[in-house]
Structures are given as structure tokens and as C-alpha cells.
Amino acid sequence: MTRKFSRNLIDFISKRILSGRQPQKQRSHFEALFKKNWGVTDLKEITDPTSVMGLNFALTTVERGERIKDILLQYTEIKGKRCLDVGCAYGGFLVAFKRAGAAEAIGIDVDPNLLEYCRALLKDHRLRKIYHQKDILKAEDICALGTFDIITCNDVIEHVRSPYTAMKHMSSLLRGNGLLFMEIPNRFCAAFIRADGHYNLFGITLLPNWMADTYLKRSFPRMSHSIHYRRLKFYTNTLKGLGLHRLNIDTVIGDREERLREIRNIFEECKRRAAVFEGDIPLPIKEKIRERVFRIADLFERNYGVYLKCRERDAEKAEALAEKLILTFGEGFWRIIARKRMVP
Ligand SMILES: C[S@@+](CC[C@H](N)C(=O)[O-])C[C@H]1O[C@@H](n2cnc3c(N)ncnc32)[C@H](O)[C@@H]1O
């Protein structure tokens, strides 16, 4: 499973660090922290794909923050607003929101190692310490934070033990009319079934947690599985119950026909792979992956058939169906934006 961390990728990452937007100083901060946290003396020694993904995730932190800030600007002003990033890790969202004129951009995260990256990044951007080591699940941790106009929670909710408590606490931290943004990975996305976004492993998103943990440990012995996937409905219903009105789930981008064909092709590829899957994992796990890949792919295929028939009779209905199919099987991440109702 492991492969050597490629020279090109290191060059790519180094160039990114050295590129205009990321000052030279940041290179040494990041390199020193990566080396310390991964226990290596040279970035080239980093060999497993999850670390490669981790590096890339860290190095794109400001870019990703900027992208989400741009999405939110379609719904609200950021200038002068009080913003909170839950699970802020490297801190890119804080930089992006401060640049957009936020009165305050505060980050919280449970992981002190990741907050070290945040400290380095903020220093490079000449921002004062605006993060705290806090757990969104603990009422006593968050009670002194005050209230916010905007809360972001990007790729975090799937890592917390109780997403309901996290959403309840975020809702309590939101001011009336305030916005909550959550980005959440979709376990049924065909591309993630082929290779998931956290570990790059075939079929892992379809497994129950204990099986996923065994699969992961066989591939990367030092890692443990800490992702809890839920259906989109779970999140949207929970938010509704908490008094948050959903404004949007990222609209389906691109040519619908093309996207559906692409999803279909990926499922075909997954089925071929599942049929001969030879990973170094216990047989029951392989069988579970095989069974689930075929089940999900067939579910898509049946609905795709309904869509094709519908397309001839009722274009509007077909379009809605296509959108639902893409959201369910094609989108890697759901981006939910919800507004808290004003309390009268
Ligand atoms: C995949 S990272 C996402 C980091 C960041 N939001 C981003 O998009 O770059 C998940 C983050 O959630 C944090 N986290 C997990 N559980 C948490 C909790 N209960 N309270 C606060 N942060 C938490 C982790 O420490 C980690 O930094």
C-alpha cells in the first residue's frame, strides 16, 4: 500500500509554499512542524499517501478558506462580522475571513498539534493569536466564546463523536439571523468509493466503523479510524430541529448528463474492482465491500434508468431527479448553508 513520497509532489508542495501568496518564512515553519509531527528529518521520507494528503490539505488551508468565504459572500456580508471556525486546524479560514474584513475571526480546535500550524500561519500573516484549544462537544469549553454572526465547520462534523451535540452547540453560539456553513464528505460518492478522500482506500467509506478500522490498520498501522458518516437527511433534519433554516446545499455544477455518465463509469470500474478485490484484509471485510459496492452501484443504475425514461416524458421532473442522483452519488462533499431564525 505504501509508496515513496514522490519528488514531484515535494516540488509541487515546496513551490506552493514559496509561491507569492505564502511567504518564504512560512516554508520553514511548516517544514519544521511537519518534520516534528511526522517524526522525519526530511519531507522526502514521508511515504504514505495519507500524509501526502495531509500535507496538501495543510498547504491549501488559506486557498480553501478563501473559496468558502467567496461562497458565503453570496449570502451575507463578512465585513464587520464576528466569525468562528470550528475545527480550525491550520487556520487558513481565519486568515481568509480576516482578509475579508471580519471584525473578529476566532478558531477553536481540540488538537494542540494542529493549532501549532495555526500559530505559524497566523504569525506569517501578522495576525494575533485568535485561536483556542477547545472541544465543540463540551459546553464548558464554548460558553465563554460569546455569540457569532457566521460559523464555519469544514470537514469536521464527520470526526466528532456526537454530531448532534456539535450542531446543537454551534446553533447556540449563533446570533439570530446568523449563518452556519458545514462541509461534509459523502460516503456514497462514487469517486470516494473508488478511493476515499481521507485514506485513499477502495470501498472503505461503505464499511461499518469497526471493519473500516481493521482495513485502515492493515494499510496504515499507526492510524485509527475516526470518521462517522451520516446521510444528508440526518444533517438537514437536525438543523431544522435546532431552528436553522437551510438556505442551500451546494447546487449541482456542470453538465448533468455528463456528470451522470461519469458516475456510471466510476461505478462500473468499482464493480470490476470489487469482483477481483485482493486487498490484504480479512475475507469478511472484502465480502462486505463487494456486497455494498454492487448494492450501491445497482441502486444508482436503477435510478438512472428511471431518469432516462422520465427524460422523454417530463423534462422538469427528470432534471430534479438528475440533481438528486448527482447529490447522492456524485458530490464528494455536501456544503450546507443554514440561517438561524430570528428569535422574536
Ligand atoms: C479534517 S480536519 C479539518 C480542518 C479544517 N476545518 C480545514 O478544513 O482545513 C478536522 C479538524 O476537526 C478537529 N476536531 C475534531 N473534533 C473536534 C471537536 N470535538 N472540537 C473541535 N475540533 C475538533 C480536528 O482536530 C481537526 O483539526
Q: For the segment 291-336, what is each residue's pLDDT rounded down to a tens digit?
A: 999 999 999 999 999 999 999 899 999 999 999 999 999 999 999 9
CA of 147 to the centre of ligand 1 (A): 20
CA of 259 to the centre of ligand 1 (A): 30
Answer yes or no: is pLDDT of 14 > 90: no
Q: Report in angstroms the alpha-carbon separations of 329 from 188, 237, 263, 311.
A: 5, 20, 7, 19
Q: For the segment 60-75, what is each residue's pLDDT rounded down to a tens digit?
A: 888 899 999 999 999 9
Minimal-distance CA residue to ligand 1 atom 4:
89
Q: For the segment 186-224, what is each residue's pLDDT rounded down to a tens digit?
A: 999 999 999 998 888 999 999 998 999 999 888 877 777
Give the fold, CATH level 3, of 61-253+333-340.
Answer: Rossmann fold (3.40.50)
Residue 233 CA to residue 242 CA, distance in Å, equals 14
Q: Show contacts of 110-117: CB within 8 Å, 24+ apart.
A: 110/134, 110/135, 110/136, 113/37, 114/89, 114/90, 115/88, 115/89, 116/33, 117/30, 117/33, 117/58, 117/61, 117/89, 117/90, 117/91
The predicted structure's pLDDT at residue 27: 54
By mean pLDDT, which of 31-40, 152-161, 249-258 is the weakest? 31-40
72-95 burial code (b ≥16 CB/10 A, e <16) = beeebebeebbbbbbbbbbbbbbb
Considering the chain, what percentage of its residues have pLDDT values greater than 90? 63
The predicted structure's pLDDT at residue 128: 86
Q: For the segment 174-186, what is each residue's pLDDT rounded down to a tens digit?
A: 999 999 999 999 9
Minimal-distance CA residue to ligand 1 atom 20:
135
**pTM (2 d.p.):** 0.85
Minimal-distance CA residue to ligand 1 atom 13:
87
CA of 41 to the centre of ligand 1 (A): 26
CA of 58 to the centre of ligand 1 (A): 12
Where do you find CATH 3.40.50.150 in the chain? 61-253+333-340
CA of 135 to the centre of ligand 1 (A): 9
Pocket residue to mutate for ligand 1, from 159, 182, 198, most atoms within 8 A of Cβ? 159
The predicted structure's pLDDT at residue 49: 62
Minimal-distance CA residue to ligand 1 atom 16:
160
- Per-residue pLDDT band at 52 (split at 50, 70, 90): low
CB 91 within 8 A of CB 61: yes
The predicted structure's pLDDT at residue 7: 40
CA of 67 to the centre of ligand 1 (A): 18
Answer yes or no: is pLDDT of 57 > 70: yes
Q: Which is more confidently placed, 291 or 27? A: 291
CA of 109 to the centre of ligand 1 (A): 6
- Per-residue pLDDT band at 43 (split at 50, 70, 90): low
Answer yes or no: is pLDDT of 11 > 70: no
CA of 332 to the centre of ligand 1 (A): 18
Residues lining ligand 1, judged by CB closer than 6 Å?
Answer: 61, 64, 86-90, 108-111, 114, 135-137, 154-156, 159-160
Q: Which is more confidently placed, 115 or 260? A: 260
Q: Which is more confidently placed, 116 or 140? A: 140
Minimal-distance CA residue to ligand 1 atom 27:
89
Answer yes or no: is pLDDT of 2 > 60: no
The predicted structure's pLDDT at residue 50: 65
The predicted structure's pLDDT at residue 21: 44
Q: Residue 108 CA: which ligand 1 atom is closest? A: 21
How is residue 273 written as a grid cell?
Answer: 474492482
The predicted structure's pLDDT at residue 13: 47
Mean pLDDT of the chain: 86
